[in-house]
Amino acid sequence: MKLELRNISCGYGKLTVLNGVSLTVDEGSVGLFGPNGAGKTTLIHAVLGMVPLQNGEIYFDGERIDTKKTHTIVRQGISVVPQERELFPAMTVLENLQVGAENIDRARAAMADTLELVYSYFPILKERQGQYAGTMSGGQQRMLAVGRALMAKPKLLILDEPSLGLQPSIVHELFDILNIMKKEISIFLTEQNLRESLRTVGKGYILENGHIVLEGDADGLANNPQVTRAYLGL
């Protein structure tokens, strides 16, 4: 598995949000850090083909994907846990999980097994499988969104600010699970919470105002004074 962004620029109408960003995610887990409005979500939407590129290319496993449609890219093995979760509120937990697999041939065939795996990561989803997604708490909805993304049997799991709006104990619990998950699957996540994510990712990029301003392995970032001052409050 290898996701490669080569010098991409993109934005909305005349507004350019990302300006010549290059980034590589291969085996192992990678983080993208930056303040609100830096362009993290925009970058993920560009990978999924939801925001057209003004410049540059995106490759997934050597194949160019920036000209493809979103559903094709998802079916090729990139699953995203959106920042806003984007669940199906009037479907039950189980139906949300099933719909995560049903539209992808490879995932549909393995649905029963993947469901067991998801339930083993998040036992709460099994307990609540008959409950409507829209009636669950923020933390449970985030877990359901992760579960739904896993149901697609992706090669790469992307999480857009998974800690957003969750209380610290739940964030901690979620990252514990991601740490188990990353042994099985490549993870790319965006975050503002570096304290939690630096124990999950091997490598990280710092994005500010649409530019990558710093990159390095997790230890390097954790010890970089620029990073500790801006993101760890030290």
Partner 1 sequence: MRQNKAVIGSAVGFIGVMIIILLIAKPSALIFGIQRAGLYAAIALPMALVLGIVHIVNLAHGEMMMIAAYLTYSICVAFGLDPLVAMVPTAVIMFFVGMLLFRFTIRYALKAPELNQLILTFGLAMVLSQGINLLATSQPRKLSVDYVTSSATIGNVSFGTYDFIFLAVAVIFLTGLMLFLKKTRLGKAAMAVGQNPVGAQFVGINVISTYTIIFAIASAMLGIMGAFFITKMSIFPTVGGAYTMKSFCLVAMAGIGNLPMVLLSSLVLGISESAVQSIPGGTGWSPLVFFGLIIAVILFRSYAKTAGVK
Ligand X SMILES: Nc1ncnc2c1ncn2[C@@H]1O[C@H](COP(=O)(O)OP(=O)(O)O)[C@@H](O)[C@H]1O
Tokens coding 8: 């991409």
68 binds partner 1 (CB under 8 A): no
- The residue with tokens 């846990």 is 81
2-10, 73-81, 185-193, 215-223 -> range binding partner 1 (CB under 8 A): 73-81
CB 44 within 8 A of CB 189: no
**159-196 CB burial, b ≥16 within 10 A, e <16:** bbbbbbebeeebbeebbeebeebbeebbbbbbbebbbb
Q: Is 41 in the site for Mg ion (CB under 5 A)?
A: yes
Using the minimum distance from each CB to partner 1, give the nearer residue, 90 or 213. Answer: 90
Distance in Å, CB of 196 to ligand X, minimum: 17
Distance separating alpha carbons of residues 70 and 72, to the nearest angstrom: 5
Contact partner at residue 147 from Mg ion, partner 1, ligand X, none, CB < 5 to 8 Å by partner kind: none
* Cα–Cα separations (whole angstroms), residue 231 to 35, 211, 218: 9, 17, 13
User: Residue 119's binding partner, choosing from ligand X, partner 1, Mg ion, none, with beta-carbon cut-off 5 to 8 A by kind?
Assistant: none
Residue 42 binds Mg ion (CB under 5 A): no
Residues within the interface to Mg ion (CB under 5 A): 40-41, 83
Residues within the interface to partner 1 (CB under 8 A): 48, 50, 69-71, 74-75, 79-80, 82, 86-91, 95, 98-100, 102-104, 148-149, 152
